[in-house]
Amino acid sequence: MTEKQHIMIKGVKEGLVFLLDDQCEFAVLMDELQYKLEKTHQQLLTGPLVHVHVKLGTRQLVDEDKERIRSVIRAQGNLIVQSVESEVQPADKIEGPTGPRVITGMIRSGQMVEHDGDLLLTGDVNPGGTILCTGDIYVLGALRGVAHAGVGGRTDVIIAASLMRPTQLRIAEVISRPPEEWMSGDAAMEFAYLQDGSMQIDKITQLFRLRNNPIM
């Protein structure tokens, strides 16, 4: 068998890392894994117990196939499989519609959260905290810091908060007027949006007027 480079085995402080090519066929991968374990890498793999971490790249496998990988490696006797993991694809590389990124916690003064897409925060944004998003921003809590939606130029986005008390709102290149000019003092959840190039504030119950997506 001609040795191929679909599998790289690297030594690290914790043991060994098996880097598996995520483009070739799974059957080819398994054949090469068996070959390397039994023939070409015997010297590297002999000796005391060795911990192994298997990295699958972006390849997604069912539990049954992950177990096949574990079984082949465990057959060497001294190899202990600690993990078989795939990389999480970045949101901007996942095809098809996706929901907003959901994070929980508090954004404190000096902290900044950036996201490509829509963002839902369950928590507060304190004064001095900042959220930057290319899509919509939803804060299920008090927005007392800075929120910038439509980073990159989108103007069809909104900024919504359970308690709207920001130091600044920005959608695309439009910056809100001083908060005291438009804060209603109402306890209802509100959202900011652009209309004819200027920022407006309304109750979240009126969002349907902007986005008429009927419930199926």
pLDDT for residue 92: 44
What are the pLDDT tens digits along the chain (216 aa)? Answer: 445 578 888 888 878 898 998 888 899 989 998 888 887 666 666 667 888 899 998 888 888 899 999 999 888 778 888 888 887 654 444 344 457 899 999 999 999 999 999 999 999 999 999 999 999 999 999 999 999 999 999 999 999 999 999 999 999 999 986 666 566 666 678 999 999 888 998 998 888 888 765 544
Q: What is the per-residue pLDDT for 19?
A: 92
Domains, in order of start, for the chain = 7-85 (3.30.70), 92-210 (2.160.20.70)
Instruction: Write out pLDDT tens, residues 29-55.
Output: 899 988 888 876 666 666 678 888 999
CA distance 165 to 201: 12
Q: Which residues pair with 142 in a beta bridge?
A: 163
- Pair 156, 138: CB distance under 8 Å: no
Name the pairing type of β-strands 190-195 and 159-164. Answer: antiparallel
Cβ atoms of 199 and 193 within 8 Å: the answer is yes
Distances (CA, A) of 98 to 56, 82, 118: 23, 31, 9
Question: CB neighbours (10 Å) of residue 20?
Answer: 22
Distance CA(23)–CA(138), nearest Å, equals 37
3-state secondary structure 111-136: CEEEECCCEEEECCECCCCEEEECCC
User: Could you tell me the pTM of the whole model?
Assistant: 0.53
Q: Which residues contact 67 (CB under 8 A, 6 or more apart)?
A: none
- CA-atom Rg of the chain in angstroms: 26
pLDDT digits (tens, 9 = 90+) for 89-117: 544 443 444 578 999 999 999 999 999 99
